[in-house]
């Protein structure tokens, strides 16, 4: 069966892009990365696309509408059926979000709706939460909003700093994004209002406590 073509938008390091590239290296994975688009010429993720032989472009950073038009054209030329934002750190043009609605997803390093926007891990530490994590969601016009597809929980440890927490959340992101894209590609997601029903999805049986009940 033909695999779903995914376009990935990046601004920087591209480690989530790499997780998607690695997942798609398995021929049984139902999606492939067809094009990578960066708003920054110096994004390290561009080299990851090049190394994987994936077409990649830099779209003009000058204004939002110009970026949206260039990205839209590249995505359509590549026959993309899903757009995945992976560390794309720029607000998207509203027309672009509307044109790709329900086919546009994002990953964010918090349990949304907590801590949207920049420095989500710093916000989590400042709020003193015991758990944070990451979220993959369909994109709507307002920043970091939209129906939630999947989340992963990461425990905050005593003495965590922003870098340590970010690293552990990132490891969870690298598992969560390929899972969410697979669910989309398999046609298992149904959006009902602000909720996403996952066909065949199962909730974990156990809740976690932080700190653990088994204190030392
Ligand atoms: C990731 O932690 C991603 O969740 C975050 O930027 C990082 C990109 O890393 N995105 C946002 O904060 C979007 N609101 P990467 O370039 O290595 O994938």
- Given a cut of 90, is residue 214 above it in pLDDT? no
48 within 8 A of 18, measured Cβ to Cβ: yes
Catalytic residues: 108
- Given a cut of 80, is residue 61 above it in pLDDT? no
How many whole angstroms from 216 Cα to the centroid of ligand 1?
35
Q: H or E stretch including 58? A: strand 56-58
Tokens linked to 163: 């870098």
Mean pLDDT across 57-73: 92
How many whole angstroms from 156 Cα to the centroid of ligand 1?
18
CA gap 137, 97 in Å, rounded: 13
Q: H or E stretch including 180? A: helix 162-185
Q: Is 158 exposed, middle or buried (0-12, 13-18, 19+ CB in 10 A)?
A: exposed
By alpha-carbon position, which residue is closest to atom 10 of ligand 1?
87
How many whole angstroms from 1 Cα to the centroid of ligand 1?
31
Mean pLDDT across 153-175: 98
Give the per-residue pLDDT at 215: 79
Give the per-residue pLDDT at 25: 98
Ligand 1, residue 10: give the atom nearest the CA.
16
Closest CA to 119 of 110, 132, 128: 110
Model confidence pLDDT, tens digit, residues 110-142:
999 999 999 999 999 999 999 999 999 999 999
- Given a cut of 80, is residue 18 above it in pLDDT? yes
Mean pLDDT across the chain, nearest whole number? Answer: 96
The CA distances from residue 112 to 56, 100, 153, in Å, are 30, 21, 11
**∠51-3-70 over CA atoms, to 5°?**
60
Mean pLDDT across 147-152: 98
Q: Which residues line ligand 1 (CB under 6 A)?
A: 12-16, 45, 86-87, 107-109, 120, 144, 170, 173
Q: Is 182 exposed, middle or buried (0-12, 13-18, 19+ CB in 10 A)?
A: middle
């Amino acid at each position: 069966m033909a695999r779903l073509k995914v376009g990935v938008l990046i601004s920087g390091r591209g480690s989530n892009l790499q997780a998607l590239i690695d997942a798609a290296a398995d021929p049984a994975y139902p999606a492939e990365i067809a094009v990578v688009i960066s708003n920054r010429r110096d994004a390290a993720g561009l080299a990851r696309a090049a190394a994987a032989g994936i077409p990649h472009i830099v779209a003009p950073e000058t204004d939002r509408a110009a970026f949206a038009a260039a990205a839209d054209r590249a995505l359509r030329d590549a026959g993309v059926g899903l757009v995945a934002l992976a560390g794309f750190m720029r607000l998207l043009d509203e027309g672009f979000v509307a044109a790709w609605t329900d086919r546009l997803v994002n990953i964010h390093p918090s349990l949304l709706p907590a801590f949207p926007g920049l420095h989500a891990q710093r916000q989590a530490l400042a709020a003193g939460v015991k758990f944070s994590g990451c979220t993959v969601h369909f994109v709507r016009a307002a920043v970091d909003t939209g129906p939630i597809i999947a989340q992963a929980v990461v425990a905050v440890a005593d003495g965590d700093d922003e870098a340590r927490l970010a690293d552990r959340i990132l490891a969870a992101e690298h598992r969560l994004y390929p899972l969410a894209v697979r669910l989309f590609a398999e046609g298992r997601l149904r959006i009902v209002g602000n909720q996403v029903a996952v066909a065949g999805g199962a909730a974990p049986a156990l809740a976690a406590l932080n700190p653990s009940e088994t204190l030392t």
